[in-house]
């Protein structure tokens, strides 16, 4: 029997007029597939380069949603490093003073830039994990869209921080190689097609302790993403780590600090 | 886990309430139920080895997951020029290693000279019930007269025609092998002008609803995404239009199977998607 924690979920792609309704829809889908907990970030309407106001609005929506389902969902705070001070304030508001347990960084700025350093340093003080979107697109990345190599540079500067390479670079055969030398970077396998061999390579190259299951629901289906682990030709012991144990282990310090029992 | 659904659901709900949801396997119905996978491939993906790209292994995987029949195309049909050999190998593998499970769907490239004979061999020599087309890998747009002609010939021969829309994510293609998925718009016109044409779209991300309602056009679920995607699609289409397809071994087979579990489907819907629609689609050959 596998316990499942999903480390990458959004309040999008499902019907619902409020954040609470949307999270409820997501949890219904998750429950049908036996997924116990969801990490949720970004609001009902996204932006590539959010203003400080927009950042707060999106985080407020996540705060509302996770407040309704505290036993089933955790929030990550969405930050825009272009607005360094506003991001630090938001980090304090949502993580230090609020219930959130991680940081989500998307496509506002390449993550190897020095503007990220104070944010990563503060997140690490607060024991929050940092989840950074990474993708390699042959069709062209967005101007501020990070690759796995960008994240590797950031991780090298912050050996004590815990990073999650969201999507493992999308082009995972490239992305997994880029993060391989950095033990503080976890490869998360969500968001792309359920191409067979993905999880096998991730487990082989990073070790089963550094691979995390996530879905990118509601844009993606829980089913297609969960299949990447349940359908992979890896031992059950590795599936157990990827599906929940690794995420629980990296969240444990901050959950303990917040008195959340798991 | 052979519990009755109600019992299973109760246990699951109870477990969720305790904050500890557990999943063991991905079984969606009793093992005795038929399951027809309308989208599998034999041979090798050109750019990567896959865990199940060996016919015996694939058959074992499908069987272990309850598949009772699988419609198989060949990855070789994408780039090989000797299509006659591709189809002969496909038919032979299905017969020798399929154990009664694999049904071959041959390739035809309408941009090669005398493709008509490949089509003839599919029907007369290999007794295939259908063909699987990869027009973008053959440099053939769907409004190309050669493509319309191919569909007309196939319809006359009573062949079910599968069109594979997307073979891999456009964003992560090999830099030297970038293939645009074909624009499906011209199909509506072809369907209208081709009496007796039975069409199934494979590997579609956004099912073209108008086209699917227009003629005898079906779609499978391998690339369908979103939470509860199958249920949402069934709400928008006649139930007989939606078929089960996994795109194994390129995709993890379990993806399609879990999608049936993610949507709350009635027994009737489940039966239609798992097998009844595919059975009916193949059976219509005898009528036409
Ligand atoms: Zn995402």
What's the number of domains chain B is made of?
Answer: 1
At A87, list the tokens.
Answer: 């991001």
The distance of B43 to chain A (nearest Cα, Å) reads: 15
Residue A102 Cα, ligand 1 centroid: separation in angstroms?
Answer: 14
Per DSSP, the residues of B49-107 read --TT-SHHHHHHHHHHTT-SEEEEEETHHHH-S-HHHHHHHHHHHHHHHSTT-EEEEE-
Average pLDDT over residues B62-71: 97
- Residue A178 in domain: yes
What number is the ipTM of this complex? 0.97
Find the angle CA(B83)-CA(B86)-CA(B87) to the nearest 5 degrees: 90
Cβ-based burial of A182 (10 A; exposed 0-12, middle 13-18, buried ≥19): buried
At B249, list the tokens.
Answer: 């071994």
CB-nearest to A36 from B21, B254, B264 is: B21
If you ran DSSP here, which 8-state letter would residue A5 be given?
E
pLDDT at B215: 84
**pLDDT < 70 regions, chain A:** none
B251, A221: Cβ pair inside 8 Å? no
Element (DSSP H or E) covering residue A131: strand A129-135
Residue A173 Cα, ligand 1 centroid: separation in angstroms?
Answer: 19
Q: How large a percentage of chain B has pLDDT more than 90? A: 84
Residue B96 Cα, ligand 1 centroid: separation in angstroms?
Answer: 44
In chain B, which residue ranges form alpha helices assigned H by DSSP?
5-17, 55-64, 76-79, 83-97, 115-124, 145-156, 187-193, 209-214, 229-236, 254-262, 267-271, 277-287
A33, B23: Cβ pair inside 8 Å? yes
B254, A231: Cβ pair inside 8 Å? yes
- Residue A9 in domain: yes
- Residue A262 in domain: no
Q: Over 50: is that where the pLDDT of B4 sits?
A: no
B51, A220: Cβ pair inside 8 Å? no
d(CA A145, CA A106): 7
pLDDT at B32: 54
- Residue A67 in domain: yes
pLDDT at B221: 98
Residue A30 Cα, ligand 1 centroid: separation in angstroms?
Answer: 16
CB-nearest to B262 from A33, A37, A200 is: A33
Tens-place pLDDT, residues B243-267: 999 999 999 999 999 999 999 999 9
User: What crossing angle do the helices spanning B254-262 and A19-32 adopt, rounded to 10°?
Assistant: 120
pLDDT at B239: 87
B171, A217: Cβ pair inside 8 Å? no
What's the number of domains chain A is made of?
Answer: 1
Partners of residue A136 in chain B, C-beta under 8 Å: 172
pLDDT at B284: 76
Q: Over 90: is that where the pLDDT of B18 sits?
A: no
Q: How far apart, in Å, are the Cα atoms of B147 and each of B108, B142, B196?
A: 10, 6, 16
At B253, list the tokens.
Answer: 């087979």
State the pLDDT confidence band at B214, using cuts at 50, 70 and 90. Answer: confident
CB-nearest to B261 from A33, A171, A232 is: A33
Q: Which residue of B has its CA nearest to A31?
A: B16
pLDDT at A1: 83
- Residue A76 in domain: yes
Average pLDDT over residues B196-222: 94
B251, A35: Cβ pair inside 8 Å? no
A231, B50: Cβ pair inside 8 Å? no
Neighbours of ion ligand 1 (CB under 5 A): A 216
What CATH number has the domain bearing residue B131?
3.20.20.140
- Residue A112 in domain: yes
A219, B52: Cβ pair inside 8 Å? no
Q: Over 50: is that where the pLDDT of B8 sits?
A: no
Which residue's structure tokens are 């109870």?
B14
B254, A218: Cβ pair inside 8 Å? no
Q: Over 50: is that where the pLDDT of B176 sits?
A: yes
The distance of B66 to chain A (nearest Cα, Å) reads: 14
Residue B32 Cα, ligand 1 centroid: separation in angstroms?
Answer: 38
Q: Which residue of A has its CA nearest to B9?
A: A32
Handedness of CA B132, B134, B135, B138 (dihedral sign): negative
Residue B3 Cα, ligand 1 centroid: separation in angstroms?
Answer: 35
- Residue A58 in domain: yes
Q: How far apart, in Å, are the Cα atoms of A133 and each of A142, A151, A190, B147, B287?
A: 12, 9, 10, 41, 53
Q: Which residues contact A104 (CB under 8 A, 6 or more apart)?
A: A41, A42, A76, A77, A78, A79, A131, A133
- Residue B20 in domain: no
The distance of B174 to chain A (nearest Cα, Å) reads: 8
Domain with B272 in it: 31-287
Domain with A229 in it: 4-257
What CATH number has the domain bearing residue A236?
3.20.20.140
Residue B5 Cα, ligand 1 centroid: separation in angstroms?
Answer: 33
> Smallest Cα–Cα separation from B215: which of B198, B233, B234, B237?
B198
Q: Which residues contact B173 (CB under 8 A, 6 or more apart)?
A: A138, B179
If you ran DSSP here, which 8-state letter would residue B153 be given?
H
Distance in Å from the first CA to the final CA of chain A: 17
């Amino acid at each position: 029997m596998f316990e499942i924690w999903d480390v990458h979920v959004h309040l999008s792609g499902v019907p619902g007029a409020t954040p609470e309704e949307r999270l409820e829809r997501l949890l219904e889908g998750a429950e049908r597939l036996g997924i116990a907990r969801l990490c949720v970030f970004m609001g009902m309407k996204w932006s590539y380069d959010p203003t400080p106001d927009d950042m707060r609005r999106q985080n407020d929506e996540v705060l509302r949603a996770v407040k309704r389902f505290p036993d089933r969902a955790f929030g990550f705070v969405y930050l825009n490093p272009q607005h360094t001070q506003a991001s630090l304030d938001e980090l304090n508001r949502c993580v230090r003073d609020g219930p959130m347990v991680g940081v989500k960084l998307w496509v506002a700025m390449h993550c190897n830039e020095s503007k990220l350093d104070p944010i990563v340093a503060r997140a690490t003080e607060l024991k929050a994990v940092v989840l950074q979107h990474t993708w390699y697109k042959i069709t062209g990345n967005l101007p501020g869209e990070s690759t796995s190599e960008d994240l590797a540079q950031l991780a090298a500067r912050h050996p004590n921080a815990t990073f999650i390479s969201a999507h493992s670079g999308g082009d995972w055969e490239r992305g997994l190689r880029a993060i391989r030398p950095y033990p503080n970077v976890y490869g998360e396998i969500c968001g792309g097609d359920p191409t067979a061999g993905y999880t096998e390579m991730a487990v082989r190259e990073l070790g089963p302790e550094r691979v995390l299951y996530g879905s990118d629901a509601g844009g993606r289906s829980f089913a297609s993403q969960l299949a990447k682990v349940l359908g992979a030709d890896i031992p059950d012991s590795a599936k157990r780590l990827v599906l929940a144990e690794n995420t629980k282990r990296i969240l444990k310090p901050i959950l303990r600090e917040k008195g959340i029992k798991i | 886990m052979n519990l009755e659904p109600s019992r299973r659901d109760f246990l699951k709900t109870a477990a969720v309430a305790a904050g500890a949801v557990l999943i063991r396997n991905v079984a969606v119905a009793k093992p005795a139920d038929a399951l027809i996978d309308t989208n599998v491939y034999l041979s090798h993906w050109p750019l990567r080895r896959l865990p199940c790209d060996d016919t015996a292994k694939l058959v074992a995987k499908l069987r272990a997951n309850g598949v009772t029949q699988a419609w198989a195309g060949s990855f070789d049909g994408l780039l090989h020029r000797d299509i006659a050999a591709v189809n002969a190998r496909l038919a032979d593998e299905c017969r020798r290693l399929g154990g009664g499970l694999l049904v071959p769907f041959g390739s035809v490239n309408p941009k090669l000279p005398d493709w008509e004979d490949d089509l003839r061999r599919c029907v007369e020599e290999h007794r295939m019930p259908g063909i699987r087309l990869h027009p973008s890998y053959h440099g053939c747009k769907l409004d190309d007269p050669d493509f319309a002609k191919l569909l007309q010939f196939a319809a006359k021969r009573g062949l079910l025609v599968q069109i594979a829309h997307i073979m891999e994510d456009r964003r992560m293609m090999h830099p030297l092998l970038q293939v645009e998925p074909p624009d499906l718009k011209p199909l509506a016109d072809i369907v209208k002008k081709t009496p007796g044409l039975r069409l199934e779209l494979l590997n579609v991300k956004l099912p073209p609803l108008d086209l699917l309602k227009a003629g005898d056009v079906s779609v499978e679920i391998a690339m369908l995404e979103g939470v509860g995607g199958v249920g949402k699609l069934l709400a928008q289409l006649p139930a007989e239009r939606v078929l089960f397809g996994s795109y194994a071994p390129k995709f993890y087979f379990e993806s399609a199977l879990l999608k049936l579990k993610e949507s709350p489907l009635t027994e009737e819907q489940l039966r239609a998607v798992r097998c009844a629609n595919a059975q009916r689609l193949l059976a219509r050959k005898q009528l036409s």
